[in-house]
Amino acid sequence: MTAMTSVRGMGPLPALVEEREGTRTLQRLFDEIDLPLSIISEANHRLPLADLIDLFEYAARRTGDPLFGLTVGTTMGGKFGKWVDYARSAPTLGGHLERASRTLRYHQSGTRLALTVRGDVAKYAYHIPVRPAHGARQHLEHTIPALLSSFRHYCGESWKPLRIEVGYGGDARLSAVEEALGIPITANRGALAIVFPAADLARALLDRSSCHSLVTLHDLRAMIRQRPPSDVAGIVADIAGTRLLEGLTDIEGVAGRMGLAVRTLQRRLHEQGCTYRDILAQTRLDRARHLLAETEQPVTDIALCLGYEEPAHFTRAFRRATDMAPRTYRRMTVRV
């Protein structure tokens, strides 16, 4: 199953690349990953975790910054979405880690956060299913500041763990990460992990007023509604939605993104009682509704960006699905 993650996981990565290297380099970076640059503005969209991991690694190369991931994470802080805010409203550090482990699935699929305690030492590890040749170093290191920030939410700004463990080899670059953090790092372990005294799990939230101000019931419902898909059809819909940002609709591109042959993907969709054509039609309709209701983009342009060869084809498809023309739908949903 293809692991998926939220676009907001990019954090300030695009802005940092553009600031350092310019717009053309930023465009080339996204072309290298085969992602549309316009996805930056789609915060609630999702993309394969492997693409995000490669984006971090290639951005480090493009900028010539071996600590690029750490820089992004430091700039980003803990802004990974409402699931982190919800976790940080727990009364104790132990409660926070339990909430974060349970709600990570509303930000990513296929990954996990796991707490283990042995005697007086605890370990909180981030496990990813993707094992690229570069070891996902930059992506993993961009999560370290957020993890440390969460711990310091309970233990104070000067708190440091006993050590940090990583699943890749040690070198001069990793030594620089260690120096920047001021925390010992042990290489070639199973996963990225924060190792700390187990007694810290009882530490209380320092700012108790934040328990009631970080997350609302509306936020929690939205978080659940926007969670990454857990089945093949949902993953296909997400990837098809991303490719629609460039007007691409072919099944071959979606299958390639998932690392599958077209026939294999078609078979798996058939097992779920649907077809790629069905999913594409619904994804196009959802995107069309959004563009008609939230933008002033001309209907002709919307048709073309959704991959229709002729605007009339879009109008017929939209009318067939909604019993109204696109312009009528726009008039009915216009905001006063």
Flag whether 24 is in a domain: no
29 vs 335 pLDDT, higher one: 29
Same structural domain for residues 130 and 220?
Answer: yes
| Percent of the chain with pLDDT strictly greater than 70 | 95
Flag whether 3 is in a domain: no
Give the pLDDT mean for 70-89.
84
Lowest mean pLDDT: which of 66-70, 81-85, 97-101, 154-158? 81-85
Same structural domain for residues 212 and 114?
Answer: yes
**Count of the separate structural domains present in the chain:** 2
Flag whether 55 is in a domain: no
Pairing of strands 4-6, 46-48: antiparallel
Kindly indicate the confidence band of residue 335, based on its pLDDT and cuts at 50, 70 and 90.
low
Range of the domain at 275: 232-333
Same structural domain for residues 254 and 122?
Answer: no
Beta bridge pairs of residue 195: 123, 163
Lowest mean pLDDT: which of 215-219, 246-250, 304-308, 313-317? 215-219
- What local confidence, expressed as pLDDT, does residue 210 receive? 54
Residue 219: is its pLDDT beyond 60? yes
Same structural domain for residues 298 and 204?
Answer: no
- What local confidence, expressed as pLDDT, does residue 79 receive? 67
Give the pLDDT mean for 309-315.
91
- What local confidence, expressed as pLDDT, does residue 214 receive? 64
Flag whether 17 is in a domain: no
Instruction: Please state, in angstroms and rounded to a whole number, the distance separating the CA atoms of residues 23 and 20.
Output: 9
Chosen domain end from 225, 252, 272: 225
Instruction: Please state, in angstroms and rounded to a whole number, the distance separating the CA atoms of residues 285 and 282.
Output: 5
Same structural domain for residues 78 and 189?
Answer: yes
- What local confidence, expressed as pLDDT, does residue 134 receive? 79
Residue 336: is its pLDDT beyond 50? no
In one letter, which amino acid is 76? Answer: M
Return the SS3 of 293. helix
Flag whether 46 is in a domain: no
- What local confidence, expressed as pLDDT, does residue 212 receive? 45
Flag whether 27 is in a domain: no
Instruction: Please state, in angstroms and rounded to a whole number, the distance separating the CA atoms of residues 261 and 273.
Output: 19
Same structural domain for residues 152 and 105?
Answer: yes
Same structural domain for residues 217 and 243?
Answer: no
Chosen domain end from 225, 260, 284: 225
Looking at residue 292, which CATH number applies to its domain?
1.10.10.60
Lowest mean pLDDT: which of 86-100, 207-221, 225-239? 207-221
Flag whether 31 is in a domain: no
